[in-house]
Amino acid sequence: MERLHIILLAIMVIIALGSVSFVHLNQLSGQYAAADKTEFPDYIALFNMTKDSVVEITSTVSDPSEVTIINGVPSSANTTMLGSGFIYDTAGRIVTNAHVVGQNNVVYVTLTDGNTYTAKVVGTDPYNDLAVVQITDNFTGENIVPLQLGNSSQLEVGQYVAAIGNPFGLEDSMTNGIISQLGRSLSDEETGSFSIPDVIQTSAAINPGNSGGPLLNMHGQVIGMNTAIRTDTGNFAGIGYAIPSNQIARIVPILIKNGTYQHPWLGIEGKNLTPDIALANGLARNFKGVVIERISTNSSASKAGLVAATDDQGGIPHGGDIIVSVDGQPVRSIYDIIRYLNDYKSVGDAMNLGIERAGKIIDVTITLQARPPPVLPTSTIPTTSPGFPQIPSFPQFPGFPQLP
């Protein structure tokens, strides 16, 4: 009898353990199911939701002074240039890159159904590589569905994204990846030595022809516009760049209204303090700030009486004002100044600079002027942007020093 009780007790223990294990397995199953939704986004649904809102943009280059490289051979004949864009509103306005439309006043927009329409260039901002075009033909009957802009300030490294565009002329192509970093600074020699701040870095494949197309989150919102790649070959090498949606949201309405966008301009060229520069200027090794190396004539900085370095020996400037804060915000690098100007300041605003000068911290108030117009080159031989030329022509688009 005692043996029977032991056997029954053992059976009850086994049943109890089995029940616990079953509940635990169900919990794990639920966790894995939730994880699957995160780890395996529904790219099919995303593509079907957004593909009709992405367009192809073409234009021509006919000026003999403009040179396009085709298979290594310069050509001055009419050349078809290709890029991407996305529908901004039901009035037929489309957002793309400034380098996609170039200096053209008219481009051609092809929708996903294959219909092509004439579009006028409404406005461009070469400094942020943004442009707006508007269909001028009658597009009644077309399914014009604008894409929604997301909030790029809420992005996180590791977040899934997808790009749609026309790489190498292959229309309606989707690639996927993640946000690989945020807050990059993108340079461009074409716009006269200014940088685009807060650029998104992505691993989604971007190639010539993708320029101007949307970078999407998993809700189908535009969180960036694909604009450039880092490459030695002209093709994607794992790093792409996109203009953040918050810059698009701020600038595009002004381009629609005015045709241009004025950027506030400080008018300096500076260098981040290193331990060597700090020590050479009598400061603590880890003193943070930006030493002013050069000041543009008639700029906001020159009118406020800022002082540039008197000499530069072995890459170490001496004697210049050192910017340590802007409107009370600490400055650790030139990028901090560029980003602050871009995000919070407008032409005509006053800005207070904290300056280290001759061992003292002083405050200098500056009234911000507009940047001078960019001096665009006559040649179209870029080096790093996934620009617009169709195969076999792939000019890439160049980089530029960081001058706020």
Domain-by-domain residue ranges, the chain?
152-249, 264-370
Question: Spelled out in words, what is the top-level CATH class assigned to the domain 152-249?
Answer: mainly beta
The whole-number pLDDT of residue 382 equals 33
Angstrom distance (rounded) from CA 382 to CA 399: 9
385 is catalytic: no
Share of the chain above pLDDT 70, in %: 75
pTM to 2 decimal places? 0.74
Tokens of 113: 């159904």
Cβ neighbours, 10 Å, residue 249: 14
Q: Give me the catalytic one of 99, 180, 245, 299.
A: 99
Q: Assign 3-state DSSP to the chain and report helix, strand, coil percentages, each to 5.
A: 25, 35, 40
Fold designation for 264-370: Pdz3 Domain (2.30.42)
Q: Give me the catalytic one of 173, 211, 299, 325.
A: 211
Q: Which residues of the chain have pLDDT under 70?
A: 1-39, 61-79, 188-193, 231-237, 374-404
Angstrom distance (rounded) from CA 186 to CA 204: 17
The whole-number pLDDT of residue 12 equals 61
The whole-number pLDDT of residue 390 equals 31
The whole-number pLDDT of residue 383 equals 32
104 with 59: CB under 8 angstroms? yes
Which ranges of 88-161 does DSSP label H, i.e. alpha helix?
98-101
Quick one: residue 383, left, alpha or beta (phi over 0 = left, psi -120 to 50 = alpha)?
alpha
The whole-number pLDDT of residue 78 equals 55
198 is catalytic: no
The whole-number pLDDT of residue 10 equals 56
Q: Give me the catalytic one of 129, 188, 321, 336.
A: 129
318 is catalytic: no
